[in-house]
Amino acid sequence: MPELPEVETVAKSIEKHLIAKSFKSIHVNWIKTLDNFSLSDFKHKVKGLSVARVYRRAKYIIIDFNEVLLAVHLRMTGKLYVVNSIKPDQKHISLFLKFDNKYLIFEDTRKFGRFYLFDNLDYLNNKLGIEPLSNNFSKEWILENIKSKNRQIKSLLLDQSFICGIGNIYADESLWFAKIHPLSISSAIPNNKLIKLQTSIVKVLSESIKRGGTTIRDYTYDFSYVGNYALNLKVFNRSGKKCLRCKSIILKIKVAQRGTHYCPNCQTNK
DNA sequence: CCATGAACCTGGTCGC
DNA sequence: TGCGACCAGGTTCATG
């Protein structure tokens, strides 16, 4: 589910509730949600600490206490939100944290989501690639780094150790804007298309953040708020429909085991 | 270095 | 209505 824009939206929406607060307790229904720490670790290292900042790094939501941090990955179906009271019969609550008289809820139907406890960002920084919305993500960076790989371009865009934050939706959208076939070998893509790809990625991600992310299933981030970038999608989930540029029929194939949507007429250089 | 397939989970949809 | 097959916004690990 969530890619960079959705994670950014979630981080922003919970930040205002959590700043300067401290968690009093944790209640875990699905123990695997705690990836690299235990209930005892939480009690000794996190409980009582004041939240300094909440932000996004790649697809992780970081709750930063200065001396330690909690990193939350939503994976496919995770939802993180604040409520005033718990509904006892609510399904799919993997865990919740209590603070003040409120609760930070982690709801996750497919149970893939994970919480991590780190001393600092070193571990994540070492394994994650460039942030596509940072200044370092330039045309020069794209040309140098994509040319140096021999990978199917869509697969490369999904590789979090290369560029982080792009997922299945925005990979397809970015490639459509840049007119690149998703199976193109990265080293063989012409420079002008790679330059276009750089601007497309930045445009697609930042526009989605403005709109609060994409909603394909019903997905709410902050009480009643619903992202509406889905209304803006050009190829994703549009197989069988006409390309909005050339009227050809959008096709759906598998690339890197992911459903991949593209226009066979205007996305070329396979 | 790179591609593929399985695993981790639950629920929705589609065809018969 | 029921049932099986397949699909889903992500990541990791094993294998060739």
Residues A100 and A59 in one domain: yes
Domain hosting A257: range is 139-262
Nearest-angstrom CA–CA distance, A178 and A261 = 14
Contact call for residues A52 and A63 (beta carbons, < 8 A): no
Q: What is the pLDDT along chain A (270 residues), one digit of tens a residue?
A: 689 999 999 999 899 999 999 999 999 999 999 999 999 999 999 999 999 999 999 999 999 999 999 999 999 999 999 999 998 889 999 999 999 999 999 999 999 999 999 999 999 999 999 999 999 999 999 999 999 999 999 999 999 999 999 999 999 999 999 999 999 999 999 999 999 999 999 999 999 998 877 654 444 444 444 567 766 899 999 999 999 999 999 999 999 999 999 999 999 987
Residues A92 and A158 in one domain: no
In this prediction the pTM is 0.95
Residues A21 and A103 in one domain: yes
Mark the nucleotides of strand C covered by protein, meaning any atom under 7 Å from a CB: 7-12
CA of A108 to C1' of C1 (A): 29
- Please, is A113 exposed, middle or buried when counting C-beta atoms within 10 Å of its C-beta (0-12, 13-18, 19+)? buried
A94 touches strand C (CB under 7 A): no
Nucleotide with smallest C1' distance to residue A185 CA? B2
At A83, which CATH number? 3.20.190.10
Has A3 been annotated as catalytic?
yes
Residues A175 and A204 in one domain: yes
Sheet strands (E) in A185-224: 220-222
Nearest-angstrom CA–CA distance, A172 and A119 = 35
Nearest-angstrom CA–CA distance, A3 and A263 = 22
Structural domain contains residue A215 = yes
At A221, which CATH number? 1.10.8.50
Residue A207 CB partners (closer than 8 Å, separation 6+): A229, A232
Residues A64 and A151 in one domain: no
- Our count of domains for chain A comes to 2
Question: Nearest residue to B7 (CA, C1')?
Answer: A112
